[in-house]
Structure 1
Amino acid sequence: MLRSISRMPVGNIQLQSVRTVMTSQPCRDRARSTAFGAIRSTGGSKDAMDIENLEEFQFDDSATPGYDNLEALREVRKYLRITKYELPKLKAHVKPFQPPSKTQILRFRTSTYIGESNHPAAPKVVLTVDTKSLPLTDVELHKFLLLVGSRYDPVKEQIKMSCEKFQDRSQNFKWLSDTVDKLINEAKKEPEAMSDMPLDLRHAARHMKPKVRFPKEWNRPVKSA
């Protein structure tokens, strides 16, 4: 479209202004492009967005929602091309799976939002660890559970913590790891002093209710055919 403008007998100043407007705000429908054509042909200084300068839509072109759908299709095809041509290149970097060792007890979970590099929830890191894998005795584990409070899930026997204090995800990883180390060190300091203190499990009371099952003796007898 810029190539056709360069052939029009208009002045350099008017040509530069039309190019600037079209670059900063590209037209999406025929009515808006017709207004730009009117400016090019007359060489006037009319407002391109003035409704009085727009011709009547003849239903011979797609409207703005149609061009929005085309833009969405281009976005989908972009990722389909990446899937077909770029992802197979990752086979050269494949490594065999190695299960975590006994010392690697921390599990981290993050979320990546495709197409949103600055999503507010992207830096968040969630940590889970099994209480049985912690290097603590029964008395020390009891104090550790008292310290973590409602972050303890008695049904799954896991500790769940999250951090989104920092914009960099690696800093949230480090903060969670350091916090677990501090809790373990604190749990090993005079654990007998808190051994008689009961755990507060009210946050998990609804998950700890026993399931009521229908007694088999109450079933109706099956009539033999």
Structure 2
Amino acid sequence: MLRSFTRTTAPLRTAVSATTPTRTFMTSLLASDRPRSRALGAIRGSGGSKDMLDISNLEEFRFDDSTTMGHDALEAQREVRKYLRITKYELPKLQAYRKAFQPPASTQILKFRTSTYIGEPNHPAAKKVVLTVDSNSLPLTNAELHKFLLLVGPRYDPIKHQVKMSCEKFQDRSQNFKWLSDTMDRLINEAKNDPEAVADVPLDLRHVEKHRKPKLTFPKEWNRPVAAKTAAAVADAVNESA
């Protein structure tokens, strides 16, 4: 590449040093490049006053090329084939890094969930981290657990016995991980600090009642009365099938 660059700059330097007029120099430069010379001939043939970048000066479409929608469809096929090639040639290479599944230990009680949006690395929801933990698995006594649930407030689900927290304060996902982990440590430490002082404070579970759907029962008085003959026929059918 360096050798070709030196070779092309020598004639240009000679042309400039020979005090060549600007118009003659530009003409010789375009003539040395075939695509540019053809473009220059097209401009000259049209009178030299048309702008070739103007859409109104484009050539008439002779149906010798695909339409814009056709090019979009081809681009979509290229993208699909790109991922198919990755699936066929790149994914098998990951077998060298596979590891046997190991179930989480009894001490690993925190669960973190994140969302990844393919094709959108800067999606605003990609930084969000959600932490869930089973309240019965926390290393706390009954009094300490009661104070812990008082501290988390509406983040506690008494039906699933689960505490759920989320964080999207920071731009980097790892920072949200760290904030949730540190917050859980602070809550546990605070729950162990004199839990008997709030032992008589009841849990506020109004947030559960607000989202719980009422279970409706159909009154028996609204049932349609069944005729005696029909009931006897149904009973006979049941006896025959038995």
Same fold, judged at TM 0.5 (above): yes
**Partner of residue 187, structure 1:** 191
Partners of 2:98 and 2:74 lie apart in 1 by 36
**Partner of residue 41, structure 1:** 42
Instruction: Kindly indicate whether residue 178 of structure 2 is the aligned counterpart of residue 178 of structure 1.
Output: no
Instruction: Kindly indicate whether residue 128 of structure 2 is the aligned counterpart of residue 127 of structure 1.
Output: no
CA distance 1:49–1:41, change in 2 (3 Å): closer
Partners of 2:132 and 2:169 lie apart in 1 by 18
- Secondary structure of the corresponding residue to residue 148 of structure 1: helix
Please, which runs of 5 or more residues in structure 2 have no aligned partner? 1-26, 238-242
Residue 193 of structure 1 and its aligned partner are, at CA, apart by 1.6
Could you tell me whether the CA contact under 8 Å between 2:43 and 2:50 is conserved in 1?
no
Residue 160 of structure 1 and its aligned partner are, at CA, apart by 0.8
Instruction: Kindly indicate whether residue 29 of structure 2 is the aligned counterpart of residue 12 of structure 1.
Output: yes
| % identity of equivalent residues | 70
Partners of 2:182 and 2:76 lie apart in 1 by 44
CA distance 1:52–1:185, change in 2 (3 Å): same
CA distance 1:94–1:214, change in 2 (3 Å): farther
Choose which of 90, 110, 118 in structure 2 pairs with 1:114. Answer: 118
- Secondary structure of the corresponding residue to residue 52 of structure 1: helix
For residues 36-89 of structure 1, what are the alpha-carbon distances to aligned partners after superposition, in whole Å with 9 as ceiling and x for unaligned? x75563365743332331222233321222212211211111111111111111
Q: Higher helix fraction: Structure 1 or Structure 2?
A: 2
- Residue identity in the other structure for 1:81: R
Residue 125 of structure 1 and its aligned partner are, at CA, apart by 1.0
For residues 99-137 of structure 1, what are the alpha-carbon distances to aligned partners after superposition, in whole Å with 9 as ceiling and x for unaligned? 111110000111111122222222211110000001111
Larger radius of gyration: 2
Residue 180 of structure 1 and its aligned partner are, at CA, apart by 0.3
**Partner of residue 25, structure 1:** none
Partners of 1:149 and 1:48 lie apart in 2 by 68
Could you tell me whether the CA contact under 8 Å between 2:170 and 2:176 is conserved in 1?
yes
CA distance 1:11–1:126, change in 2 (3 Å): farther
Partners of 2:167 and 2:49 lie apart in 1 by 57
**Normalised by the size of structure 2, how large is the TM-score?**
0.71
CA distance 1:109–1:12, change in 2 (3 Å): farther
Residues paired across the two proteins, number = 198
Say which structure, 1 or 2, has more relative contact order (CA 8 Å, 6+ apart).
1
- Secondary structure of the corresponding residue to residue 108 of structure 2: coil
Residue 11 of structure 1 and its aligned partner are, at CA, apart by 5.0
Partners of 1:12 and 1:211 lie apart in 2 by 85
Quote the RMSD (CA, aligned, Å): 3.0
Could you tell me whether the CA contact under 8 Å between 2:130 and 2:167 is conserved in 1?
yes
Choose which of 146, 151, 155 in structure 1 pairs with 2:155. Answer: 151
